[in-house]
Amino acid sequence: MASCPPSLLLSLGSASGRSPQVIPRCLAVHCSSFDLQTRSTRAKECVAITRRDILGFAFGAPSLFISSFPAKGAGLPPEEKPRLCDDTCEKELENVPMITTESGLQYKDIKVGKGSTPPVGFQVAANYVAMIPSGQIFDSSLEKGQPYIFRVGSGQVIKGLDEGILGMKIGGKRRLYIPGSLAFPKGLTSAPGRPRVAPNSPVIFDVSLEYIPGLELDEE
């Protein structure tokens, strides 16, 4: 029996950007179990078994992180991913008038909230589902299991989302049609289960304003 051919370990280490010592132990064990006569066939198995690990190291992260990053959504068919607007909501939106602002942002209110709108600089807690125009989801707080908290109107999110949230009331839901000029100037790269967002391309956000810390008590 022969140990794993050094050339294979070196090539895998080179592909991952790390030294051969960081290649997972399963690779070394698997490689050591075949003789030189069957190297060609079994070496392909070694590569297949560790493909995700190599990809993880190539991007500076272990495969466990890559496979588990979209905790609830990436492995699901598009129609099974959690959404803020279901099929009934989609049909109702067809009859909701579109509002266009001076910046070019367009929106439709799925549900009008109550109480205050958030003052500029205040923290807000919002859920969102972000999509490319085809409807494919590229980011979602629902998949992460908690609302996203940020200071509205302070440039912490893209311009279209900032503007859209500023006009909402607590408990409201809104669909934002964000033009490329108010979206992602540099775009977003694709990820497992996530489509690419091209630079300056339009995007769609379904967003719900859950609460505004500090304002709920004032209303009570």
| pLDDT at site 13 | 41
Pair 82, 170 in one domain: yes
Query: Which domain covers residue 24, as residue numbers?
Result: 6-68
Coil/strand/helix, residue 112: coil
With respect to residue 152, please indicate whether it lies within any of the assigned structural domains. yes
Cα-Cα-Cα-Cα dihedral of 197, 87, 91, 147, to 10°?
-60
Cβ atoms of 131 and 137 closer than 8 Å: yes
Looking at the structure, tell me whether residues 119 and 158 fall in a common domain. yes
The widest CA-to-CA distance across the chain, in whole angstroms, is 79
Q: Is residue 73 in a domain? A: no
Q: Is 45 inside a domain boundary?
A: yes
pLDDT for 216 equals 62
Please give the Cα distance from 75 to 96 (Å, whole number).
33
Task: Answer whether residue 1 is part of any domain.
Answer: no
> What is the crossing angle of helices 39-49 and 6-16, to 10°?
30
Judged by DSSP in three states, 169 sits in coil
- 77-92 in b/e form (b: 16+ CB < 10 A) is eeeebbbbbeeebeee
With respect to residue 194, please indicate whether it lies within any of the assigned structural domains. yes
101 and 162 in a common domain: yes
Q: Looking at residue 139, what is its pLDDT?
A: 95
My answer on whether 17 and 82 are in the same domain is: no
In this prediction, the residues of the chain whose per-residue pLDDT falls under 50 are 1-76, 217-220
**Whether residues 142 and 86 fall in one domain:** yes
- Regarding beta strands 106-111 and 99-100, do their DSSP bridges make them parallel or antiparallel, or are they unpaired? antiparallel
Give me the pLDDT at residue 116, please. Answer: 84
In this structure, is residue 33 part of a structural domain? yes
Q: What is the pLDDT of residues 6-59, one digit of tens each?
A: 443 333 344 444 444 433 443 343 444 444 344 444 444 444 433 333 333 333
Give strand ranges (E) for 83-156. Answer: 99-100, 106-111, 123-131, 137-140, 148-151
- Total domains present in the chain: 2
pTM for the structure as a whole: 0.64
Q: What is the pLDDT of residue 101?
A: 97
Residue 120 lies inside a defined structural domain of this protein: yes
> Do 133 and 118 touch, CB atoms closer than 8 A?
no
pLDDT computed for residue 96 by the predictor? 96
In CATH, what number is assigned to the domain containing residue 163?
3.10.50.40
